[in-house]
Structure formats: C-alpha cells, structure tokens
Structure 1
Amino acid sequence: MNTDPESTAPVSVDALYAEADDWHVNAGGQTIHAKRIPGRWRTIKWAMASVWLIYLLGPYLRWDGRQAVLFDIPNRQYHLFSVTVLPQDFWMLSLLLLFFAILLAVMTALVGRVWCGFFCFQTVWTDVFTWIEERLEGPPAARRKLDAAPMSREKLKVRAIKHGLWLLIGFLTGFSFVSWFTDAPTLWWTFFTGQANGAAYVTVALFTAGTYVLAGFLREQTCFWLCPYARIQGVMLDRSTIVPTYDERRGEPRGRVKREDEGERTTGDCVDCNQCLAVCPTGVDIRRGQQEGCITCALCLDACDQVMDKVGRPRGLIRYASLDEFEGRSTSRLWLRPRVWVYVLILGLSLSGILYGLTSLDPLELRVLHERAPLFVLQSDGSIQNKYTLKILNKTHEPLAVTVRATGHDDLTLVGAEQPIETMPGGVTPATVFVRIPREALESEQQPIVFRIEAERTTGEPALTERESVFVGPEPRSD
C-alpha cells in the first residue's frame, strides 16, 4: 500500500496508523468551548455572516404595495420585485441551481471550504449561539467550570436564559422561512391568533427544534457527520487549493520563548501556545496538517498572528497557502488555471440564461388549440369555419382586458372575440373563437394564420404576444 504518488517505496501499516493518530476528530465526547478573539478574519467572518440578515429581513421589503419577494406556492406564482415567474418559466430554476452548484465547486477548488467557514447557516447560527453563551456564562474556562458544577439556582437561571434565547432564534429562523411563502405582516397576525395554515405551524416547529439542536448542541458534529458537503469536499481539492496551513518548516521544532534563546534560537517560530487550537470551533489542531474537521474559518490565523506580534516574530506561521507553495513548487495564478476558465464559462452561461429569462418574460402568454373533431365545418353561407380554444396566461399583477386578432388571410373573419377578454392576474383564461374563410378563397387544405393578443396596462408598455396556428379546410375546387 502506498499513499505517496511520487514514491515507489511501500508504506507500512504501522506508519499509516501512526499518521492516523495525528488526526483528531471530536466525536461528541466533549463540548468544544472555543475561545473568541478579535482579529482581521473574525471581522471578515462577521461581515460575511451578515448576509443572512437578508434571510431574516427580506420578507418585509415591499414593492408596489406587496411583498417584494414572495414564493406563492398555493397560487403557483413567484414574485421577484416587478417580475412574476410562473411554473411555465421554471426552467430558470435549473439554471439557478446549476449556477450555485458550480459556484460552490469553484470556491472549494480554489480556496477550500470557505463556504463552511464564512457563509454556511450552520456555522453562522452556531457562532451566534456560542456568542450568547459566552456573554452569559463567560470565557471557555468559566463555561467548562459551569458544565462540571452541580445544578444551582444561579446555574439554572443562566441556563434558562441561554436556552430561551436559543429557542427564540430558532423560532425566528422558522418564522422567517415561512414568511418567504406568505405575506409576512399578515403571517404575524394569523400565526398568533391561530388562523394560519397548519403547515406554517409545523414548519416553524421543525425549524425551531432543528436550529436549537443543531446549532446549540450538535454544533461541529453536524459538520462532521451530517453534512454531505463535508464528505465530498476532499475530492474537490488539489495541490493548488489555497487553505489555512501551518508552515511546518518554519515552526518546528516547537518551543517556549526563553530568555537564553535571544541570541541564537534552537527552536522554530511556533511557541506551542495552543492558541490556534483554542480558537478552533471544531477542535482541530491545524499544526497536524489538513483534517476533515477544518472548515477554513481562518480564526487560527488571527490567533497565531497575535502571538507572533507579542513574541516579535513575523506573521504568517499559519496562513492561507497551497501545498505546492509550501513544497516550493511553481504555482500559477488563479486565472491561468484551465479549470478556472471552465468554471467561469459554465457560471457565465448559466447566469446569462437566468438574466435572459428574467428580462424576456412576456406579460402575456398564448396557447392555441385547434379543434380536431371536426377539423372544419361548412357554413350555410359557403364559408369554412375552424374552432379554436385560446388559453391566455396573464403574468402581471393586474387584471387585463385582452383584445384578440387573427391574421393570415385577406378574407378571414374572426368570430367570438368582438369584445375584449377579461383575464385575471397570474391565471389562465380560456376563450373559444371561430375563424371563417370563404371556401372559394382557400388556396390549400391548410392555411397558416396568426393569433395576436394585446392589452393595455396601467404601468409600463402594452402587453402583447402572438402564436401561429393553422386553418384547415377541404381541398380547393379546381376550375
């Protein structure tokens, strides 16, 4: 068995076990109380986490008197500001999912699990929960002491407040989720007066319990054992991926700072302070190499840089770097890597498709169904009549009076559409019309015709669209 692709010498089983011993994964036997320190990467982490404020506050944004973003599943309408997406246009969802899937892949290939460290809701919610825990129970040493202490009135009071706040955050998480699918201000009233849909109560309850358990108790165990991304991200990395890495050549051998070392040091830059381990939310010792539990949150960089400043040594003992860089191999710039261009191309195509779909949505959509039994009818006046069913889809937010016209023959007569057809917003309105053409004016058994619908709108340009169909008649008479 050989684990080194550049070596032909076999690696012993004992060596493999020795390497495995250097990997440490907390299986839940102990609660990790990570130390929280300020720093550059902590600030970036909070800034990136603030994106989730959109999730909490987004449902309350109004647009033209209604909720700006609303996924109205019962009515099968998806409102995005001034755009309404109906199931007929749901192909854009596939492009959107492709865009985010490729974006996640390219982020992982370039900078590792940066999603996990800076954006993932599990990481963000856990961070908020532990921040509350620290404010109520104190630093890590005090929290471990409180965990080991017997239950008392003071401990019960602190724990009750902490768990109450956790449950409140869990409730707001679930309530915010439901708010994206129904009018948010109305939901507040109906939910607390018992008038909301049963699905709303079940969904909020599940989100509350899930957030409370996952972020409050399981924490890093969710990343280790439940998250599918943690299982596959390893195969998405390569030697050029930039991840938080310990510079072993510079840091080893480790040793405490001693006065006698001021002249000529016999140890590396690592002073074995274990601060990188103390701040890690998953309990990973980055000095043991890349491990499954590392979510690349870069908090260990803040901790190590602060220690280096205190002992007068250069920063960057732990830094973002690739394996090639540490081994002295030549590294190419990110934009010169072929797979980066492939990723960018796919991202560009999917995003272009989404933008094209959103900007080319017609406010009206028309389907024309030709009557098949019979295909045509001979009228008493000698004209040939065809029957059509028009299905008019109104994608706007207002009822529209739709005018129907038909073209394609000079002697064509449209019957049944003398008055505008009233269509309701977000729905399909059927209408039956007849087209008549004098028999002697027919030039062939099938004559192409075009139906055109148009409606005036209170805002914006008139809505119009057209659809081609066919007029069927008997074989023309030969003179």
Structure 2
Amino acid sequence: PHRQFHLLGVTILPQDFWMLSLLLLFFAILLAVITALAGRVWCGFFCFQTVWTDVFTWVEEKLEGSPQKRKKLDEAPLSFTKIRIKATKHFIWLVVSALTGIAFVSWFVDVYQLWSDLLSFNLGITALVTILLFIGGTYGLAGFLREQTCFWLCPYARIQGVMVDNTTAVPTYDFYRGEPRGRVKKGVKEEERTTGDCVDCNQCVAVCPTGVDIRHGQQEGCITCALCIDACDSVMEKLDRPKGLIRYESLDVLNGKEERPLLKRPRVWVYSFVLLLSLAGIGYGMSSLEAIEIKVIHSRQPLYVLQSDGSVQNKYTIKILNKMTEDLDVKITAGGIDGVVVVGADEPVTSRKGMVTPRTVFVRIPRNQVKTESQPLTFYAEAIDGNGKKLRSERVSVFIGPK
C-alpha cells in the first residue's frame, strides 16, 4: 500500500527495488543449483506449500488421529464430539492462514501500525483485501488441495526436467537390486530366493504425497520428500535386508559410471559466477543505502538573479526522501563555494517518514566568487534519528552566474 518493502529493519523504496531484483536473481540461481545437484529439495523440505501442508496435517493428526481414524470420523454420524473436533481443526487452520496473511503484509507496512490498525478495526482496504486473499489461499491450498497443488498447479514441476540430468542425486529405485519383484514366501531361505529385494509391498506408493511410484523412475509428481526412502528402509529392516533399495543416487552412479566432481561440471561454474555477481550487487546496494536522500532541482526561469547588494542568487527545489520509520528534522546546508548563503533553510525541515518532502531555497553567492558561468555546488541534508545516530546525504548541483 505504501510502496515500501521492509527487510531486517531496512526500508526499501521503489527507487531501490533493483536490489530486490538482484535478490530474486540470487535465489532463482540458487534454486537452479540445488535442483541440478540434489533434485527438488526445495519442494520437499522448504517450499511454503509443503511446510504449510505439513503444519495443517500435523494439526489434523493431533485432533483427529491417524488416517484410518480420520476416515472413520468422517463416516461417523453427526455428533457433538465430531462437531467439536472439526470446528477446532478448522479454527486453528484459519488462525494459521490469518497469521500468514498478516506476516506477508508486514513486509510492506510498519508491523506495529498494522497490528494497531487490525486490533482497532481501522485496517485499510488494500491491506484487508490482501490478508483475506491469503487466508482463502492458505486455507484452501494447504488444508484441502495439499500436494495436489504441486502436481497440478505449480509450474516448477514442469520445468524441473531441464534442471535435472543423469548426475543429479535424487530418490532413485535400484532396479538392479530390486528386480524381479516378489512377495516373501514362508519356508524359502534367503539364499534360495530367486527374486530381488523388492517385495512389492507398495509402501513407497502409499506414503508418497502425490501417489508417485518411484520404481518407475523420476516423475514430475515427485517432490523429493524422501518419504518413500524411509518407508522402504523400514521394510528392509524388518526383513533383515540391506537398506538403500530406494536412496538418493544419480543415474550415472546407479549404472556404474564414475561420479563427476562438482568442479568439473560447467553449469556449476556458470551458476557460481552469477551467484557471486548478484551477491556483490546486493552487498554494494545495501552498503550504499542511505536513510535519507535528497534531490536538487535547479530553477530554469530565471537561471539567476542579480541582487541589489551585487550578489548572485539561484533558486532550487530540494526534495528530501525519508526512508526511516520516524519523522526527521532535516537541516539543509550548501558548500563548495566561498561565501555561500542559503536563504529559506534557517529552520529544519520536518520530513515525514517514508515520504518525499519538498522545500524551496535560494542560494546567494558574492559576485566576486562567481568565477565561471557554471560552478559545482554541493547541498547537504543532515538529521539525527531517535537513537541519536547522525544521518547525512549530499547531492552535487550547479550554480549559474553571469558570464
């Protein structure tokens, strides 16, 4: 609503959004690197959809129990107990959804002011609509669609194929060891069996959030959550067989090829260069970010005025941008030319937080100090914040005089 982005106490305004572009570039390339090396690790462990779905599922399990108990509760006739459990679950879901929307809006407005407006029922229409959209989206996607969002709606599942190759370590079924599949038969000794280690129990399919059968290879529905690995290992442990029938492995290694070192992969060097370049840009931008900025506009009509005392006067409009979360009293001065006098800046300018405050000033210079038709003139804006820290910004303009 206020065209502001708050990041770790730093307020970023539209003119500084180029740093956010570099930040997005950094995370996009980082995501590509992780996908190229380890598959869809982001999807399985860090994606907001996955995390929020796990939170909603955890609440559901705590209140309704295991999947079998949940199914039994759904089929049970309407009762006070059923209404109480269902109402509590959906209430907690809505609270989590509301906190998600509030947290998102807090990136763009002052969080203390947001909570104050929220609790006093004085929330602006833009913030209110945004929070309501997040409530509906989070409640629907994490509570009902869940992993089907990954399978049907998420575009990342469609583009992962260009990021993954035969050197990428992903959950892989060892078909050399597992085939041919066969059930465990009583009375048959381990050394006498003619089947592979896979007992065709389908536990890997049962635990998969998207219903993928990893034994058929990598598919777009696989979010690399590794639940199939845990399920298979538990079965192998019960059968006293080696774990790792399904494991993180690249196809090259599975087929007996030697694993290529990271530094011998061209894409790693390209990704690393782009990452370092974007990080350098972000570091430069953050280090040069000023709490206050000034813009100086020289009046064109007239360019200068000769005063009765012989001095030369120029007119300027000073625009003060306050990036702080508090109002500041800004003192405007000028320098760079001997005898410079700033008229109209005797009292500090009250610059409102997050806004641009204009102030018109007149600069007078003795006639004998006007050496050329155009001379550089530096304007300074100084203020002190609530913590006593001195803030300063400067801008070079020109002073126009007669030939």
Asked if Structure 1 and Structure 2 have the same fold, meaning a TM-score greater than 0.5 normalized by the shorter chain, the answer is yes
Instruction: Please name the residue that 2:49 is paired with.
Output: 122
Distance in 2, matches of 1:303 and 1:116, equals 19
Corresponding position: 1:450 with 2:354: no
1:398 shift after superposition: 4.3
Which of the residues 202, 214, 236 maps onto 2:141? 214
Instruction: Please name the residue that 2:164 is paired with.
Output: 237
Distance in 1, matches of 2:347 and 2:124, equals 40
Corresponding position: 1:285 with 2:222: no
Where do residues 60-459 of structure 1 align in structure 2 (5 Å cutoff)? 73-74=1-2, 76-144=3-71, 149=75, 151-153=77-79, 158-182=85-109, 190-191=117-118, 194-258=121-185, 259-457=187-385, 459=387
Which amino acid counterpart does residue 210 of structure 1 have in structure 2?
A: G
Instruction: Please name the residue that 1:42 is paired with.
Output: none
1:362 shift after superposition: 2.0
Which amino acid counterpart does residue 331 of structure 1 have in structure 2?
A: E
3-state SS in 1 of match to 2:358: strand
Distance in 2, matches of 1:175 and 1:230, equals 28
3-state SS in 2 of match to 1:171: helix
Distance in 1, matches of 2:188 and 2:131, equals 62
Which amino acid counterpart does residue 365 of structure 2 have in structure 1?
A: I
Instruction: Please name the residue that 1:39 is paired with.
Output: none
Distance in 1, matches of 2:348 and 2:119, equals 44
Distance in 2, matches of 1:196 and 1:308, equals 57
Unaligned runs of 5+ in 2: none
1:105 shift after superposition: 1.4
Post-superposition CA distance 1:444-470 (Å, at most 9, x none): 222222223333445355222322111
Distance in 1, matches of 2:210 and 2:332, equals 65
The count of residues paired between Structure 1 and Structure 2 equals 401
1:326 shift after superposition: 1.2
Q: Relative to 1, partners in 2 of residues 1:469 and 1:267: Cα closer, same or farther, differing over 3 Å? A: same
Q: Is the 8 A contact 2:335 2:377 kept in 1?
A: yes
Q: Relative to 1, partners in 2 of residues 1:117 and 1:450: Cα closer, same or farther, differing over 3 Å? A: same
Distance in 1, matches of 2:112 and 2:365, equals 56
1:245 shift after superposition: 0.4
Q: Relative to 1, partners in 2 of residues 1:465 and 1:307: Cα closer, same or farther, differing over 3 Å? A: same
3-state SS in 2 of match to 1:410: coil
Q: What's the Cα RMSD here? A: 2.7
Which amino acid counterpart does residue 386 of structure 1 have in structure 2?
A: N
Distance in 2, matches of 1:168 and 1:462, equals 42
Q: Is the 8 A contact 2:5 2:107 kept in 1?
A: no
Distance in 2, matches of 1:192 and 1:396, equals 24
Unaligned runs of 5+ in 1: 1-72
Q: Relative to 1, partners in 2 of residues 1:265 and 1:367: Cα closer, same or farther, differing over 3 Å? A: same
Q: Relative to 1, partners in 2 of residues 1:396 and 1:178: Cα closer, same or farther, differing over 3 Å? A: closer
Distance in 2, matches of 1:207 and 1:317, equals 41
170-179 vs 227-236, greater mean Cα deviation = 170-179
Distance in 2, matches of 1:132 and 1:440, equals 80
Where do residues 4-83 of structure 1 align in structure 2 (5 Å cutoff)? 73-74=1-2, 76-83=3-10
Q: Is the 8 A contact 2:5 2:109 kept in 1?
A: no
Distance in 2, matches of 1:209 and 1:457, equals 40
Distance in 2, matches of 1:350 and 1:222, equals 31
1:440 shift after superposition: 4.9
TM-score, with structure 1 as normaliser: 0.76
1:344 shift after superposition: 2.0
Instruction: Please name the residue that 2:399 is paired with.
Output: 471
3-state SS in 2 of match to 1:90: helix
Q: Relative to 1, partners in 2 of residues 1:452 and 1:150: Cα closer, same or farther, differing over 3 Å? A: closer
Q: Relative to 1, partners in 2 of residues 1:218 and 1:397: Cα closer, same or farther, differing over 3 Å? A: closer
Q: Relative to 1, partners in 2 of residues 1:362 and 1:168: Cα closer, same or farther, differing over 3 Å? A: closer
